[in-house]
Structure 1
Amino acid sequence: MKFDIDKFDGSGDFGIWRIKVKALLSQQKILKAIEGPEKLPESLTKEQKNDMPEMALGTIILNLFDNVLREVNDEKIACDVWKKLESLHLTKSLTNKIYLKERLFAFKMNASKGLGQNLDDFKKMTIELANTGIDEKLSDENEAIILLNSLPDSYKDVKAAIKYGKQHRLSFTAAHHNTKKVLEYFHSDFWGPGKVPTHGGSNYFLSLIDDYSRKVWIYLLKSKDQAFDSFKAWKKLVENQSSKKVKTLRTDNGLEFVKEEFNEFCNN
């Protein structure tokens, strides 16, 4: 089988290159060679124990640009080359950790890029930080907080989705003293698919906003056809909470609402 891996030039994403090369070595059944001669299975013949490190060394060298190859030129076996590359490009020093954390915590989404590309840039930084040490992996909650603070106004609906995590339920009577206009006018929007799904596998979200109280409900969805059922569940929820009826729903005429069953539901 043939695998194409971009050669590492010293300035790219070493963490991703490292993952790909390890996958390639695994496919060739020589991954143990980069862990050292003592890690090779005892069941191997002497010839196999000699061949595996040589094959691993060749695979690594062929996926490096000359400038990086010169950095490890003094190392003669695969495990030593691998350790040298990690020490140079996957440093666990305090200085590097601080630098990566500063970049991550100062991250701001670029409004000229798509959401998927922005999220990909963010994920790349979290992986780089995790690669400096297992204790540096961010929790889902911390990632969500950083993303929330990074969003520009143009992503206000996405910002709400991250902030509330799932559908946000709030009693109208507790939220506002004057409730006589609650449920009279709602805005709804449907967004997706996202390039990067949530941890639960959702690629879409449905937002519903009360025009009077400005309260927001976010439903994370795995597919478009879940929008109608989510709307019905939301309608039942807010009407039970407020003892009032939803009167007007404003949408952008997205296809998730322009369907016969939705029209029939509203007419009834």
Structure 2
Amino acid sequence: MVESIEFDLVICGSGLAGLRAAIEASKKNSKVKIGVISKVQVMRSHSVSAEGGTAAVIFEDEGDTIESHIYDTIKGSDFLADQDVAERLCKEMPKEIYQMERWGMPWSRRENGKIDQRWFGGYSFPRATYASDKVGFYEMQTLYDTCQKFDNIEFLNEWFATSILHDGQTFRGLTAIELSSGTFYQIKAKALIIATGGAGRLYSFSTYGHSSTPDGLDMAYRAGIALKDMEFVQFHPTGILPSGILITEGARGEGGYLLNNKGERFMKNYAAK
């Protein structure tokens, strides 16, 4: 038997992107019924695993600039990034840092009380805004707590979305399985946001969590949605063998460097700086 539920907007994925999208949609219209579906509990999202920091230019009076952030971002992509998107990201991030602070994000502080920032690889200025070494956990907790303030946001935790429903032109909803009961659901909706994150668990050695599989990408592909830049996968170079547990990128930002099994600093052969 197929059960049926209905929303105005369905967000597939409950990581940082999914939660932030739910909040923004609810702020725009508190009468929109929003469903956030995820195959894991919210605080088991892989976003929780982020350790190092979130890049933003918040101290232009100390020498950093938005233009420098844009350049560092594009240069770090070997000039393959969509430059319009990179520009918008860098311009929007300072506002997001302060918005998160207003929602209760416990950013690490300097002795004078200002938000602290630190170096990361590829930066020309210390702009990683952090919260100890658990920035992802605190960002997720902040956004999840904020979501609880909106009566129109409903979480479908441990529900596995299986396919996108459409009539060839118009989105109609999703199908999903409630994992705790095995019940199959038809989720009717008017709009969909896919925020299912990366697919790093395709690789045998990875710092990604076991939930980081390409379910959302697969649904989109089967529904005829174009996928872009699928060859770009983020790999952190500071994973511990054989578990794949991540050593924070902040270790490199604070001056740590990579050695091969001969004790040689080998990265100079690939990137001079």
Shorter chain as denominator, the TM-score bin is under 0.3
TM-score (norm 2): 0.24
The structure with the greater share of residues assigned to helix is: 1
Q: Which has the larger Rg?
A: 1
